[in-house]
Structure formats: C-alpha cells, structure tokens
Amino acid sequence: MRALGIEGTAHTVGVGIVDEECRVLANVYDMVKPEKGGIHPREAANHHAEMVVPLIRNAADVAGIDLRDLDLIAFSQGPGLGPCLRTVATAARALALSLDIPILGVNHCVAHLEIGRGVTDAKDPVLLYVSGGNTQVIAFARGRYRVFGETLDIGIGNMLDKFARECGLAFPGGPILEKLAQDGKTLLSLPYSVKGMDVAFSGMLTAALALRKQGAAIEDLAFSIQEVAFAMLTEVTERAMAHLDNDEVLLGGGVARNRRLQEMVARMASDRGARMFVPPGDLCIDNGAMIAWTGLLMHRGGVRMSLRETVVDQRYRTDEVAATWRA
Ligand code: ATP
Ligand code: FE2
C-alpha cells in the first residue's frame, strides 16, 4: 500500500509518499517566506494553491511511481490556518476523487508523533512537539494521544522568530539565533514561566526585547533565551515522563532541529535511564510524509471518511482523535 500525504497547516506546503513499511519514497515541500512581518493566512493559502500541483507531480517523480499506483490520499485536516487548510483539503479531495481512492484527514500534531515512531526505534514515547505555532508535550494514554502540557500563549518557534524579527534578523529566526547563541558569554536573567505542566513565552519575549533596547548583546540574548526556554521545556517533558513512567522521549517540530535543545533533553533522558529519539530534520518540520504515514496507519486501523467528514478544523485538538490503529 502506498499513501500520498499533503501537509499545509501553516507556511509550508508539502507532499510526501510512503509505503507500508514507513519508507519515505518522496518528501518535497515549499515554504512561504514573508518579505516582512509574519505570515498572512490568505497569502500562504495562495502560495499553497500555486505550489500543490507541481509538488504532487514532483513527489510522484521522486518516488518513481505513477499517481495511479497510489492507494490512499491523506491531508492535514487541522489544527492550522483556515485558508491554508481549505486549500490543501480541496486539492486532496480532487486528487482522491480523480484517482477513485480513499481520503483521510489527519491531525497534524498526531502526525508529528507517528512519523517519529515510524522512522526511529521509539515505541511509545513522550513527544516534545516544538514548532512555530505549537508547543506541546504529548503521549499515548487510554486510546488517545493526550496533551500533558502546552504553551499558554505563543509557540516557542514564534517566540524565537518574533524576537529575531524585532532585532532585524531574517525569517525563520530560530536557526539564526542558534548560531548567534554559540558566541553568547553571559546568561541574562529572563522569566522562567512554568505553570504546572504548562509553559509561557510571551513574558520572555517582552523581557528579551527590553534588554536588547538597553544594549544587551544579541549573542548573549540568543544564548539566554535558548537556555531558559529549553530548560522550561525539558522540565515539563521530564515531569510527563516521570508521571507516565515512560523511558522514551521523542522530539518533533522545527525547533527540534536545535542542537542545544537536543543536548538538554538527551542529558535529562540519560540522567533518568531513558532514551531520546530525533527524526531526520526533514521529518521534524512540517512535511507531507508524516501526513501520508499517519493516514496509512489510520486506514490500516479501520478509519474511513466520507467526503463530508473531510471538512477542516482549525482547532483540531490532539486528544479528539481516537487512535484506533494503536489498539
Ligand atoms: P506548526 O504549524 O506545526 O506550528 P511551523 O509552521 O512553525 O509548524 P515547523 O517547520 O515545524 O513549522 O517549524 C518552524 C519553526 O522552527 C520556526 O519557528 C523556526 O524558527 C524553528 N526552527 C527551525 N530550525 C530551528 C533551529 N535550529 N533552532 C531553533 N528553532 C528552529
Ligand atoms: Fe508542525
């Protein structure tokens, strides 16, 4: 069985093709880069509409298959930006109808976890999902993927990108700050906001920008933001692992590419006799392969959707999905 997945919850539109063994046959994508400011949902949707057909063709070429060799179409049903979700859903419906094969809408957050289980040795990990819009600690319990902790305001990636933008750095800011942080020498005081199992980042953003105005070096700020924000994330992830008595941690989302975050989580894991898993970078960021693979798992687990059930859901919660394929 081969599944094609289309991802398009935010600024990236991606198409992936996977087989029954979670071999990634193709995983191609294109990202909107805003000239300045954040992403505009309508502009991103226009971009996705323009790119999705060429990406589908390209994915089939890379995989070396004909579209008629596909058995399933999956797409990101939510959560995400409404216009982007609708654009991708429309493309997925058209493709499934024209090929006369089943279609499944996939929860984007669940897909980040499933691709990690698919391509690493992780069996039942706690997922630290850290991207632009999302920051969640997720694990499987009693038939569903449940959110054990999350951001109370903005996603960690958005915080990094916004800070970078205000300092005149390019988008996305996360990787640029990671480089700058290597030259940081002083740990500046920033708010450490952990509330129970949840975290918050907007206070840190405000404080860091205020320090920047007072003349703090950008390298020290990048270093301090990483140390404090990643320590917060490591703390709540460890608490989830302790409560669940779970000895596997999986990283996902674009920020999972950050070496310092990987180092801190790996250290926490090894201190408690647990293991950390990080999928390859292209499967950490938003991508079509994770959607294809999760669709395939769902299909195998007996999930079917009528066209009516493929309406998008901007606020699709992780724990709304009955993970029947894991039973
Ligand atoms: P989602 O829709 O799931 O919220 P997203 O649209 O933000 O995801 P991703 O590709 O998962 O997309 O993540 C992008 C984010 O990852 C950006 O905020 C970017 O700054 C951040 N990022 C990428 N590489 C790094 C890095 N090395 N260090 C820190 N942050 C990074
Ligand atoms: Fe994502």
What pLDDT is attached to residue 234?
98
What atom of ligand 1 comes closest to residue 226's alpha carbon? 29
What pLDDT is attached to residue 36?
67
CATH superfamily of 2-112+283-326: ATPase, nucleotide binding domain (3.30.420.40)
In angstroms, the CA 244 to CA 250 distance is 14
Mean pLDDT along residues 22-49 = 91
Q: Where in the chain is the domain with CATH 3.30.420.40?
A: 2-112+283-326, 124-278
Q: pLDDT tens digits for 67-126?
A: 999 999 999 999 999 999 999 999 999 999 999 999 999 999 999 999 999 999 999 999
Report the alpha-carbon angle 39-40-45, nearest 5: 105
**Ligand found nearest the CA of 253:** 1
What pLDDT is attached to residue 272?
97
Q: pLDDT tens digits for 215-267?
A: 999 999 999 999 999 999 999 999 999 999 999 999 999 999 999 999 999 99
Mean pLDDT along residues 285-291 = 97
What pLDDT is attached to residue 105?
98
What pLDDT is attached to residue 37?
67
Where on the phi/psi map is residue 49: left (φ > 0), alpha (ψ -120 to 50), or beta? alpha
Q: Which helix (H) or strand (E) holds 232?
A: helix 218-244
Pocket of ligand 1 (CB under 6 A): 9-12, 80, 131-134, 155, 157, 160-161, 172-175, 178, 253-255, 257-258, 285-286
What atom of ligand 1 comes closest to residue 112's alpha carbon? 3
What pLDDT is attached to residue 171?
87
Q: In the chain, how long is the greatest CA-to-CA distance?
A: 62
DSSP 165-198: HHTTPPSSHHHHHHHHHTT----------EETTE
Least confident span in 29-33, 123-127, 153-157, 273-277: 29-33
What pLDDT is attached to residue 294?
98
The CATH topology of domain 124-278 is: Nucleotidyltransferase; domain 5 (3.30.420)
What pLDDT is attached to residue 292?
98
What pLDDT is attached to residue 33?
82
Measure 147 CA to ligand 1 centroid, in angstroms: 19
277-298 exposure pattern, b = at least 16 Cβ within 10 A, e = fewer: bbbeebbbbbbbbbbbbbbbbb
**Ligand found nearest the CA of 256:** 1
**Ligand found nearest the CA of 112:** 2
